[in-house]
Structures are given as structure tokens and as C-alpha cells.
Structure 1
């Protein structure tokens, strides 16, 4: 399968990433495909050694690759240090949607005092609350519900059925995927004689620029202070961000992660899928947490951290689990033996 794109020359594409080229700079491409399936006038890239056999036989007109692989490329090439990064930039440019004229579906419900910027796309059954500010080139796809006093900055896209509660701020060039909920109440409850009393959630959510929020991800509003998602953060699908969480810029979090309330995650962190982060913790900048880890203490230094045990055959897991329960007794016995050995050594 190939993806049709705008037409561009080899030189135009190389200029986007400051690359050198092999071949005719006037060569045109108008599609993107994998090395294996690419045909004439299509662009591909090579960054994984597993696909080296396809590089040698590809029919792609242009391949993005590293200089070390140039000799094996039978076609025109864009030569860069990081082919995957270059592909991301070039593919983004090739597939950008032209700026639209303002389109407002007849079924839109828009309250008083809504400010609507130029070239906005407001899809069917969208609801926008009073005093909200929707800036230029913003797309709100079908079924989005935008609360009161919401700000959505230039060039942001909200896909179908996104819900944004009152007073939320969303920055420029953000992408929020279908089913996401931004600004719902945090899980604040107080116990009164065995019954739970709801604690008002009075803060909001502030999202920076170039943030992406995955499908069905939820970001809760702060209890008193705000929940903050800084510039460049990337959140995968099905993530729960609790109240008063602060995520530093350019951190990426994979699917099904849960971050409990009032935790702070630093800049340029990577959180593996299925991980859990307990509340009121601080994670330093440049921390990588591997998949399905449980973070129970603050992490004060950058590095790679893991927890849990890998999958095993069930019978072996049971044996190891029994040994795990015996660790405390074993540790005490070893300590006693060490004391006895020390006494013997001194005599």
C-alpha cells in the first residue's frame, strides 16, 4: 500500500532536512511506501537492518538512508545521519493539509461571545461554550464538546468526540485524538465515617504547544493548582493523568500508563507502556522507565529504571514466587551466619 502526497522534487525534500542527495535533483515523487512495496515516483526510507534485503531490490524512486548504506541503494537517495528522523520531517511536510477556508457545519451549537479565528473547521454537532477562544486554523471534528472559557491556540486539531471541560488552555499545533477527555474532575475524595465526600476540583489543565494526546486518554483538572502538560509532550492512547500532575517538555508516555495525583515528571523522559507512577513523586529529567514498571519512590537521577519480573512458564513462576516469600528468612539466616563467621575469623 502506498500513500499519495503532494508532488515534490528530490532537491525540495533534501532541503527540508539539510541533506545531500544522490541522483537527479529534479526527480519528482508523489507518494510514500515501504521499501518492499514502493513503486515509481514513491519515497521510502531505510533505518532498520532487518529490512536490508528490501533495500537492494526496492523500486522506490527515492530512499532516505545513512551514508553507510548508499552503496546498496539502486535508486536516488537522500543521505542523512538519522534516516527515521528525516523521514518523519519529510513525510509531515508532504502530507500537510492545505489551510482551509472557514467551514462551520449547520448543526454546530456555539454560545455567546465565542471568538472564532480565521480558517477554522467546525464539524457536525460540535458544541462550544461561552467566552471560549478558538484561534486561527483550528479544526474541531464532529462531536467535539468545548466548555466555557476554553482557549485553543493556532493550528491545533481535535478529532471526533473530544471533550474539553471549562477553563482549559490548549497551545499551538496540538493534536488531540478521538475520545480524549481534558479537564475532567480529579479523583479527590475525603472519608467521613466510612462514606466518601467529594472534594471540589478547582484548578484546570494547561497544555503547551506541539502536544499530542492519544485516543481515550484522560487528563484531570487540578484540585487547587493546575495540571500542566509542557511543550512537546507526547501521550499515547489510554493514559490516565491525574490531578495536579506536571509533565516536563518533550516527555513521551506510551499506552496504558497511569500517573497518580501531584506527581512531577521531568523533561525528555520516556515512560514505557503499562507502567504505573504513584502519587506525590518526583521523576528527574532524562529518565527512561521500561514497560509495566511500578514507580513507588521518587527518581532523583537520570537513567534507565525497571521493575517487575518477565513472563515465565507458570510452574517456574510458582517456584520463584515461593522463593521470593522466603527471601526475608534467608536474609536473616545469612546475616546470622556472617556474624558467626566474623567471630571465627577474629579468634
Structure 2
């Protein structure tokens, strides 16, 4: 589709400097854009590329627009505006409703007439598939599971028995929702499995990345709030609760029964121990290990940056002597007193 800059300015509270009648069809990077494309700059380190771009228009702040002679869509937040323009120009692929001939749909399941059930998908006993839902190839929707309107499951997504998925969600390939939590009781030298009897309940407008796993609750439910964004390869354990509009980056792991507040961010490869409470508006940097609850909003880190290996080995050797050094320092302080 093609949209004029005037229409984009009206939709996204911007203003056009230059030809407002220019129509753009796609979004693109500054160096790859052509006359029917729109690009953006939100970080000034890319401003040097402005002089060489062939984009039909560029989304800029008022200050950055002074460095550019071409047509500009001027807004307060170019990154956010770009996201909205990209969504408008590149909507999800349309589909025709129906059930593929190779799909297996239990006769007790309720499937909306506007939904699509893809090749080799399986829809279980008394499952409910809402309006305009897209179920991709090879997906499994378990017994009694519910999928809300306009939610999309890409290929090979598993929604296990009795899980509840809200509206307007997106699940990328390989996501597994509702597998058993890691629950065992010691039986001498062996382990006895504890049945995992809860569900996963996911709100509206949630996105779940490829190969991310969310375990069902042991007795209560694992709950993912509205607007949560989960990257690829995340593990969320049983009975975890993630608050609204929290975003978690790739390879993070959240242990069982931890509660994460609203509007939090968790960096890639971070680990959060079990049975903790993380307050609203907490931001945890990448590769941090969180072993205690966090009661106040703010930014938290618990990782060491990479150093030359020789320096790291010296520092690591010193770590083994910290207790001894602390005792010696305490004796010296006592003598000085």
C-alpha cells in the first residue's frame, strides 16, 4: 500500500517539511532506501548517513531535521513513529479462513468461521479458537485451551491443555506454552514427580518469541499480563507472574513463583531466582543474576564486563583470598582503634 506523508503526519501527530504529497510504500534503512521508501534517524550517530540517502522521506526530530535538506516527517519520537509507520505499511499477511485438509480438529472443538487452521495442525477436545485467529502449520492446541480473537500462532507452536491465550497475541515458531513445570520431591536417592495441575494464562497483545517456553503452574496458574513482550529462547518457570507491559530479552531465565512487576525490562541472558518479588519499573541489565527481591524501581546490574583473559585470571585468583583479606583488614582496623 502507498500512503502520503500528509496522511502519516495526520495519523502520527507529526508535520511535513517539504512535499506532503509524496507517497511512500515501504520502510527501509537510510543507505538502502529509494524514492518510494521512508527511513528514520533516532540516534545521532547515524545522522552522517542523511546526506547520502535516496529515501523519499526521513522521520526526524526538529533538531535533526536541520541537518537534512530533503523531505522530512518531523515528530517528537522518530523510533516510535517509525514503528507505527512500519506497522501501517507492512501489515500481517492476510489469510483466507478455513481448515486445511490435513489438519485434525476434534469434533467438540469450537472454531470460529473466520479462523484459519493450517496444515497438520491439531485442535484438541473442547478447545476454543476465536474470530480471525491464525493457526500455523504443525501447531498443537490442547484439550480445553482457548485462543482469543486475532491471535496468530506461527508454525509449530504448542498451546497445551486448558491454557488461556488472550486477543491480538503473536507466538513465533517453536514456542511451547503450558509444558510441565520442573517440580520434583526427593525420595531417597531418587526424585518423585509432582503433577503440574495449573495453567498458563496469557493476556491481550502479548508477543512470545521463537522457542520460548512458559511452564504451567504447579497448582495455581502461571500468568503473563497484557502487553508483555518476550524475546526468543526465554524460560519462564511454573507459577511465575509477569506484569503488564514488561519486556524480557533473549535467553533470560525466570525461576518458579517469582513475581515481576509492570513496565519492567530484563536484559538478555539475565537470570532471576525463584520466589522473588520484583517491583514495578525495574530495569535489569543483560547477564545479571538476581538472587534477592527488588523493592524499588530503578536500574540494577550484577555482572562483570569482559576483560583481557590474563587480567581476568589475576582478578579471579584474588577473589579466592577475599575472606582472608577481610579478616586481616578487620584486625588492622581494630588495632588502629
TM-score, normalisation: structure 2: 0.97
- Residue 147 (str. 1) matches residue 142 (str. 2): yes
Correspondence for 1:81: 76
1:94 positional shift:
1.3
Following superposition, the deviation at residue 119 of structure 1 comes to: 2.4
Alignment of 1:243-262 (within 5 A): 243-262=238-257
CA contact (8 A) 1:16 1:89 kept: no
Q: 5+ unaligned residues in a row in structure 2: which ranges? A: none
Match of 1:211 among 206, 215, 224: 206
Q: 2:158 aligns with which of 154, 163, 167?
A: 163
Q: Is the 8 A contact 2:26 2:86 kept in 1?
A: no
Structure 1 position 191 matched with structure 2 position 186: yes
Instruction: Map Cα deviations across residues 244-292 of structure 1 (whole Å, 9 max, x no partner).
Output: 0000111111111111100011111111111111110111111111111
SS in structure 2 of the partner of residue 191 of structure 1 = strand
Q: Distance in 2 between matches of 1:87 and 1:44?
A: 8
Report the Cα distance in structure 2 between the residues aligned to 1:212 and 1:50, rounded to whole angstroms: 30
Alignment-derived partner of residue 126 in structure 2: 131
The reply on whether 1:108 has 2:103 as its aligned counterpart is yes
Q: Aligned residue for 2:168?
A: 173
Q: Is the 8 A contact 1:16 1:90 kept in 2?
A: no
* SS in structure 2 of the partner of residue 72 of structure 1: coil
Instruction: State the alpha-carbon separation in 2 of the partners of residues 83 and 181 from structure 1.
Output: 35
Partner of 1:345: none
Moved more, 40-49 or 257-266: 40-49
1:208-262 CA distance string (max 9 Å, x none): 1111101000000000010000011111111100000000111111111111100
Partners of 2:141 and 2:77 lie apart in 1 by 40
Question: Deviation of residue 131 (structure 1)?
Answer: 1.0
Q: Distance in 2 between matches of 1:33 and 1:305?
A: 35
Q: 3-state SS of the aligned residue for 1:190?
A: strand
The answer for the alignment partner of 1:15 in structure 2 is: 10
For residue 323 of structure 1, what is the aligned residue in structure 2?
318
Q: 1:240 aligns with which of 226, 235, 241?
A: 235
1:40 aligned residue (35, 44, 51)? 35
- C-alpha distance in structure 2 between counterparts of 1:333 and 1:256, whole Å: 41
The more displaced of 311-320 and 234-243 is: 311-320
* Aligned alpha-carbon RMSD (Å): 1.2
In 1: Cα distance, 2:95 partner to 2:173 partner: 21
The corresponding residue for 2:332 is 337
Shift of 1:73: 2.2
Distance apart, 1:99 and its partner CA: 5.2
Q: Is the 8 A contact 2:200 2:215 kept in 1?
A: yes
Further displaced range: 221-230 or 332-341: 332-341
Larger displacement relative to structure 2 (246-255 or 318-327): 318-327
Q: Which piece of structure 1 moves more, 173-182 or 32-41?
A: 32-41
Which residue, out of 31, 39, 58, partners 2:26?
Answer: 31
Segment of structure 1 superposing worse, 232-241 or 6-15: 6-15
Query: For residues 286-297 of structure 1, what are the structure 2 equivalents within 5 Å?
Result: 286-297=281-292
Deviation at 1:338, TM superposition (A): 1.3
SS of equivalent residue, structure 1 residue 53? helix
Shift of 1:25: 2.4
Q: Judge which range, 289-298 or 68-77, deviates more.
A: 68-77
Give the TM-score normalised by structure 1.
0.94
2:2 partner SS: strand
Alpha-carbon contact 2:182-2:237 (below 8 Å) kept:
yes
Q: How many residues align?
A: 337
Cα offset, 1:178, TM superposition: 0.3
- Whole-Å separation in 2 of the counterparts to 1:164 and 1:227: 13
Give the distance between the partners of 2:304 and 2:26, measured in 1 at CA: 44
| Off by >4 Å, runs of 4+ in structure 1 | none
Match of 1:62 in 2: 57
Which segment is superposed worse, 302-311 or 244-253? Answer: 302-311
Q: CA deviation at 1:52?
A: 1.2
